[in-house]
Structure 1
């Protein structure tokens, strides 16, 4: 049987790909580039509509590895039930940290300093002055302290913050300080001026930010979501925004894309970017380096990096 590797980037554009497999380019087109049954290493197309990336999985009977180019893998999970036992699912840890952390900082600064108001005033030809909050002396709470959360803190370091609090699924200690468990959120939320969401979407984090979570945030606090839209209960967030008690900066929403008539577009105190945390000029070189590294390990039968789960071992 022929061993195929499916890539969403033309293989001739990736420098250093190891020799051996038949590289097939597929980026979500209607027609498959070859028989899916011959694919042993599948790289999921990036930033495609729901359902596109999982479409070939039921026919991939020889598959050994599913590699995403996203940090989150929630869009792939529904397709795993079609796969044989022993298939490794790997994410793109190391690819999106720089871009997502940059956007997080941009959203925080733009929201606090009123940049959207200045842009609208510029469109009107109006000189709009005023006193705005600074990031300096604020307390920032990062909910989801994986590699992206740590990269966000790296970029916050020069801004003279009062404190950074960190929350993740497991309690641990890092070079920058302790990481608290999710169960400690109720005590940490009232102290935070800025709450950043960078957690994966799982059943445990779906609607983590509900009415109770939002009610515990201090008056005037800013919620920043660079995780996944369903981490936040949109209805509960709208209620808080309409009351003017908190503000929000959202790179992801639920639903997504956000329909033109959705009330979130017109809610008070919200800044929305259209899920652009990852797709920047920093993406492609890091994605290509990841693929070269992972394929080299795979072909040399070395342990893969970024393994999230193995089918049959955890998902049945």
Structure 2
């Protein structure tokens, strides 16, 4: 019998992780498959599954469940009892920070409008705000927020970061959450990089949007429900704000939803962390978890126990 039995969701991951360390057996087990009669020491989930899908683990004995996603909202409500759930820290943050910057630059330089005009052979010379010398309000100082801040550093912006409490870290000043109302009117760009929980669900509502500077850009690389979609639609329709978002609520938006075609809106289909390097980063995390378990140490990134 192996020292560790590791289940991965597909043959591609199994092949990338092969050969495993001595004493480790790799098997393929997809969520929703009939339960195995063997206990998995580490079970890696597929990428981009909703929390309700975790019910498919019922009946499958597993010591550690490893997600390929960073967010874990809803997991505690659906993970069967007796499981330890780890999220994918250091897998998606850099790529999500990269996308946040791409959304900001595209919106601030009019790239979507230029692309649309180019399809019609139109030379649509317009002046857009740009990014240099803009004030950026960044809500969230976790892994994604940090990566956004690092990528904004060379762009000559005034960066105002907000966390749970006021403090100073290696990147400078962090404002307290209570300062958001005071800071919102000062920002040309507001970036959401917060986790989804009871305190952030519906954070961006009518009053939040009304407090933003006229014409400011809202960028959401957090979770869709952080923003009240109806409120955002009203604000964009009225020309109060613009929006660039990688996540929506619902997700995906219905094809007929107004946000698809409203001027000043840029939507990407939840691809923040989904880049070519993701597999390499995820494989590295699985190898780290295997090494910890072989050593008799607890796994890293435990966020839920049921």
Q: Which of the residues 68, 91, 108 maps onto 1:112?
A: 108
Match of 1:314 in 2: none
RMSD: 2.0
> Structure 1: where are the runs of 5+ without partners?
312-316
Shift of 1:146: 0.5
Q: What does the per-residue CA deviation read over 1:247-270, in whole Å, with 9 as the maximum and x for residues that have no partner?
A: 000100000011111222122311
Cα contact 1:98–1:282 (8 A) shared by 2: no
Deviations 1:109-149 (A, max 9, x none): 00011101100111000111011111011111111111111
Preserved contact between residue 238 and residue 264 of structure 1 (Cα < 8 Å): yes
| SS of corresponding position for 1:55 | helix
Output the CA distance in 1 between the equivalents of 2:21 and 2:74: 28
Alignment of 1:48-63 (within 5 A): 48=49, 51-52=52-53, 54-60=54-60, 62-63=61-62
Find the counterpart in structure 1 of residue 161 from structure 2: 166
**In the alignment, which residue of structure 1 is the partner of 2:282?**
287
| Alignment of structure 1 residues 247-286 onto 2, 5 Å | 247-286=242-281
Give ranges in structure 2 of 5+ residues lacking alignment: none
**Which has the larger displacement, 36-45 or 195-204?**
36-45
Tell me which residue corresponds to 1:69: 68
1:145 aligns with 2:141: yes
Contact 1:37 1:59 in 2 (8 A): no
Aligned to 1:93: 89
Tell me the TM-score normalised to structure 1 length.
0.89
Helix, strand or coil at the partner of 2:145: helix
Work out the CA distance in 1 between the residues paired with 2:244 and 2:36: 44
Give the direction of change, closer, same or farther, for the CA distance of 1:37–1:144 in structure 2 (3 Å limit).
Answer: farther
SS of 1:42's partner is strand
Q: Matches of residues 238-253 of structure 1 in structure 2 within 5 Å? A: 238-253=233-248
What is the 5 A alignment of 1:92-241?
92-161=88-157, 163-241=158-236
Q: TM-score, normalised by structure 2?
A: 0.92
**Number of residue equivalences:** 303
**Runs of 4+ deviating beyond 6 Å:** none
SS in structure 2 of the partner of residue 165 of structure 1? strand
* C-alpha distance in structure 2 between counterparts of 1:171 and 1:18, whole Å: 45
Cα 1:17–1:207 change in 2 (3 A) is: farther
